[in-house]
Amino acid sequence: MAIPVFKCETYLPGSDQFHFARLKVPTDRPRRLHRQDFHELFWIQNGGARHLLLGGEQRLSEGDLVFIRPDDAHGLQGLGPETWLVNILPHPAIVADIARRHPEAAARSFHHGGNLPVVFPRSIRQLADLSQAAIRLEAGARSALRIEAFLTGLLADLTDAGPDLPAGAPGWLAEALRAAEDKEVFREGAAGFVRVAGRQHAHVSRVCRDVLGQTPTEIVNAIRMDHAARRLTGSPDSLAEIAFDCGFETLSHFHKLFKARHGMTPRAWRARYQRNVIRPV
């Protein structure tokens, strides 16, 4: 069966330079995937979703920001009854102009070269900032100036955001720390961190201890536990599913690391914070 292709002109009537929508994601598995002739971005505002793709699958949690490229065949399935996302579709000419002027930002987002769309996890604070920017964008005219301001601010944040490293820290370490936020990396543990660093394990370990005072294992486990905290708050998945998603085969080890990182057990974290999630109106 042919994969349907969504057209940009369907979403950008008249002089509109971007499309903005808040959507509740159905829990039914989509009957088929779709492609499109435009770029878009979306983030999970509440809950969790399964991002189905021809090349694989991504499990998305609250705060995950995703950049979709033309011809990415995909579909979404909500993992609970209250999964909401914010979806933005900029005019193709605006995306092309940003890519021309800021190729380094485009290469990490709209024009990412990986097999799957790129995902940027946003912390609770970062998600709150993104939500406020979205409210302002939604309230005004659908003009080129407003969507450019939103996108360039967001891309600058994604490009510049990184660890507060001391002066003289190697560039590869900053890049490895950014790459380790990707689930496909941190699920591998320290081996994944060393792989994206592109250096020998002993060298990576020595530099991490000298610069950050941590081992690669400690760095990756902190990222894993922060990801787990978002999943516990924003999804109905079981503790076993979340532990496995973080790369752990035993719950006991997962519990121990989570409590060391967050000061309480995963179950206690979920009981305290999940009921306080703010639902979109």
CATH number of the domain enclosing 232: 1.10.10.60
- 132-158 pLDDT, tens digit per residue, is 999 999 999 999 999 999 999 999 988
Same-domain check for residues 203 and 88: no
What is the per-residue pLDDT for 105? 86
Residue identified by tokens 């983030």 is: 43
What is the per-residue pLDDT for 167? 60
Average pLDDT, whole number, for the chain?
89
What is the per-residue pLDDT for 163? 58
Same-domain check for residues 131 and 234: no
- Looking only at the bridges linking them, the beta strands covering 48-53 and 74-78 are antiparallel
Could you tell me where the DSSP H helices lie in the chain?
8-11, 92-101, 103-107, 124-139, 144-160, 171-179, 183-186, 190-197, 201-212, 216-234, 239-245, 251-262, 266-273
Same-domain check for residues 241 and 153: no
Predicted TM-score (pTM) of the model is 0.64
What is the per-residue pLDDT for 137? 96
- 74-97 pLDDT, tens digit per residue, is 999 999 889 999 999 999 999 999
Same-domain check for residues 36 and 97: yes
279 — pLDDT class (breaks 50, 70, 90): very low
As a whole number of angstroms, the distance between CA 56 and CA 52 comes to: 7
Give the Cβ contact number of residue 8 at 10 Å.
17
What is the per-residue pLDDT for 42? 97
